[in-house]
């Protein structure tokens, strides 16, 4: 357990540029405090000391604002940045070197006692406020953008954003530099915006329709419409003349 805690502390230097030394991390990082409480409660859970495990987990939640069920499975190198409001359910499975930001929920969508929470493979990053719900799987190095709601499987090396989560960057070759390997909050600066893309498509369709209307009004269609209106006007004038006579 202590080796795993050391690994949890060490990865913070790689993923948080604000971290300066180990003492600061031990004293000031609620994600570390929550993981220490989880590692202890998880041991108790597997020793079948369920009540003691839940109590240790509850104390950790009170102190950090991070709720991790002692029955969850979490690999090494796990990092919770900022932390407040994170919820990790009982049947959640998290691989190695994963990162969650504040406000993330790994929740269930059923009251059944079986597998009901997500599975996160190695290297997954989930941005602030995102909700990953149900017994779905996020593939290796998958990214979930901030405030996304994900209810379907996410392939490896894929980024999803929005409500519901939509793929905006599909499988790409992993790069060696740390910045591209670890995009903060699950998004990258050059990532396309699906909402802006949809609005652009609507505007293009509007411009296309305006051009078509202009062409019809200026062509034969416009002449026919003008002729019909002139005939109607002449007919109306003739009827008025007969009435006056």
Domain 2-191 has CATH 3.10.180.10: no
CA–CA separation, 46 and 84 (whole Å) = 26
Q: What is the pLDDT along the chain (245 residues), one digit of tens a residue?
A: 677 777 778 888 888 888 888 888 889 889 999 999 999 999 999 999 999 999 999 999 999 999 999 999 999 889 998 889 999 999 999 999 999 999 999 999 888 888 999 999 999 999 999 999 999 999 999 999 989 999 999 999 889 988 888 888 665 555 544 444 455 555 555 555 666 677 777 888 888 888 888 888 876 555 555 555 555 555 655 555 555 55
Judge whether 88 and 63 are in contact, CB under 8 Å. Answer: no
> Any idea what DSSP says for residue 185?
G
CA–CA separation, 69 and 67 (whole Å) = 6
CB environment 72-110: b (16+ within 10 A), e (fewer): bebbbbbbbbbbeebbbbbbbbbbebbbbbbbbbbbbee
């Amino acid at each position: 357990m202590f080796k795993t805690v050391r690994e949890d502390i060490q990865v913070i230097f790689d993923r948080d540029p604000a971290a300066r030394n180990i003492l600061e991390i031990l004293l000031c990082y609620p994600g570390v405090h929550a993981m220490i409480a989880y590692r202890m409660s998880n041991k108790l859970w597997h020793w079948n000391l369920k009540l003691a495990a839940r109590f240790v987990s509850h104390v950790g939640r009170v102190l950090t604002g991070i709720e991790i069920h002692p029955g969850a499975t979490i690999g090494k190198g796990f990092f919770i940045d900022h932390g407040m409001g994170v919820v990790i359910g009982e049947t959640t499975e998290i691989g190695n070197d994963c990162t969650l930001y504040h406000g993330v929920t790994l929740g269930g969508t059923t009251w059944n006692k079986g597998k009901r929470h997500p599975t996160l493979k190695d290297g997954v990053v989930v941005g602030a406020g995102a909700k990953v719900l149900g017994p779905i799987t996020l593939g290796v190095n998958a990214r979930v953008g901030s405030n996304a709601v994900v209810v379907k499987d996410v392939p490896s090396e894929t980024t999803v954003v929005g409500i519901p989560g939509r793929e905006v960057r599909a499988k790409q070759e992993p790069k060696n530099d740390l910045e591209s390997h670890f995009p903060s909050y699950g998004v990258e600066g050059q990532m396309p915006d699906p909402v802006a893309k949809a609005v652009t498509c609507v505007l293009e369709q509007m411009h296309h329709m305006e051009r078509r209307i202009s062409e019809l009004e200026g062509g034969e269609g416009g002449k026919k419409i003008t002729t019909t209106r002139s005939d109607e006007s002449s007919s109306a004038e003739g009827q008025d003349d007969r009435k006056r006579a």
